Amino acid sequence: MMDTNEYYFLKSFLKPKSLSKVLSMRDWTSYLGRDAKLALNKFEKEGVLQSANTQEVVTATYSAPNLKKISQNLNLPTSGKKSVLVRRILEVAPNYFNGNSLEHDFFVCSCEGAKQIEAKGKIIKNEMSTAVELSVNEALNRSFECAFEPVRKYQLSLPFPSGLGVDWSNFGGPREIFIINSILDDWPLILSEIQPDLKPLVRQGAICMFLWGLKLDGELRKKLASNGTHLGPDDVCRMMLFFAQNKFRIFDAKSKSEELGMPYIMKILRFEGDFCSACKKHRVGDYSLSEVPEIPLADCRCKGGCTISLSEALDINKVTTI
């Protein structure tokens, strides 16, 4: 059975991929613990990886519009998926793509390789489900170190950790604790109509989203499907998390203002979108830290939840220079 590192590398080739492109995207040599090309030779010998054939390479390289134009030029039908278009072209003109600068280092998983990847994927999914359940339960009990450790371990095991710029080795500091405490202790006005018995489930879902970046599992989504608000299950939990994150932004700005002796403000931004009437009417711009409204807006009725953005900034008008 392949190890976790090999699983993520081989998963790149479930569809035909250029080896040079795969290697340029990640430092796979460092991640695999050995030269990636030597690993590739091993996978080929084991029958897990194989060179892609012409049809697979063309299907991966050419866009559907380009294939339809080629089909028209050859008086062929233009209906069907890319693989169907390519097959028709190759049946009529087997050498059509010869010399068309196709890359020659395309590889694809064999049927056996795909089976091994599927089997390993199930193991990883089960391990992750256990870790998610453990960490969320620990967070609900405010056992923070036990809640954060599975997240750190999982993210640091990936060749490409999620969360751009997040230092996963130190994940679980004051910011993360503040946000989880806010989820557990406070409640946003936008969710005031929710059925009271569903509040613990919303808190659970919001914590899972925060720690793991996951949408709700099927069981939790089903329980929150009819919740008394205009929002769907995932959006209800997302508004809970959005509320807690914005509470931290305001708290953090106040702390910086006091520590540095500098005046801070909060900027409310509204980007282009399909906003409800309440969001359209709401004033965008600068707010003092004591005047900033609760975000998400209590009266927001946007279909997917409030998307007005909140960020901190120095109050330039009050900054004195010597």
Model confidence pLDDT, tens digit, residues 162-173? 877 889 999 999
Determine the average pLDDT of the residues in 123-130. 94
Helices within 76-110 (DSSP H only): 82-92
The packing angle between helices 4-11 and 36-45, to 10°, is 80
Determine the average pLDDT of the residues in 193-204. 96
The predicted-structure confidence for 223-281, as pLDDT tens digits, reads as follows 999 999 999 999 999 999 999 999 999 999 999 999 988 888 889 888 777 889 999 88
The predicted-structure confidence for 16-48, as pLDDT tens digits, reads as follows 999 888 888 888 888 888 888 888 889 999 999
Q: Dihedral (C-alpha) 225, 228, 232, 236: value to the nearest 10 degrees?
A: -110
Return d(Cα 319, Cα 263) in angstroms, integer. Answer: 7
- Could you give the C-alpha distances from 254 to 194, 260, 311, in angstroms and in order? 31, 10, 12
Q: Which of 39-53, 134-148, 192-206 has the lowest mean pLDDT?
A: 39-53
- Output the average pLDDT for the chain: 91
pLDDT band at 120 (very low <50, low <70, confident <90, very high): very high
CB 213 within 8 A of CB 163: yes
Determine the average pLDDT of the residues in 108-114. 95
Helices within 74-110 (DSSP H only): 82-92
pTM summary value: 0.81
Determine the average pLDDT of the residues in 202-221. 95
* Residue 119, token pair as written in the block: 């089997």
pLDDT band at 109 (very low <50, low <70, confident <90, very high): very high
Report the run of H or E that residue 245 belongs to, with start and end: helix 233-260
Return d(Cα 34, Cα 6) in angstroms, integer. Answer: 11
Q: Is the pLDDT of residue 175 over 50?
A: yes
- Could you give the C-alpha distances from 175 to 154, 227, 261, in angstroms and in order? 20, 29, 21
Identify which of 307, 292, 308, 297 has the alpha carbon closest to the alpha carbon of residue 257.
Answer: 292
Q: Are strands 106-109 and 17-18 parallel, antiparallel or unpaired?
A: antiparallel
* Residue 101, token pair as written in the block: 């600068």
CB 151 within 8 A of CB 135: yes
Return d(Cα 268, Cα 283) in angstroms, integer. Answer: 8
Q: Is the pLDDT of residue 14 over 50?
A: yes
Q: Is the pLDDT of residue 103 over 70?
A: no
The predicted-structure confidence for 42-93, as pLDDT tens digits, reads as follows 999 999 999 999 899 898 889 999 999 999 999 999 999 998 999 999 999 8
Helices within 98-232 (DSSP H only): 111-140, 144-157, 174-185, 199-212, 218-223
pLDDT band at 322 (very low <50, low <70, confident <90, very high): very low
- Within its chain, how far is the Cα of 169 from the centroid? 19
pLDDT band at 97 (very low <50, low <70, confident <90, very high): confident
pLDDT band at 186 (very low <50, low <70, confident <90, very high): very high
Return d(Cα 216, Cα 205) in angstroms, integer. Answer: 6
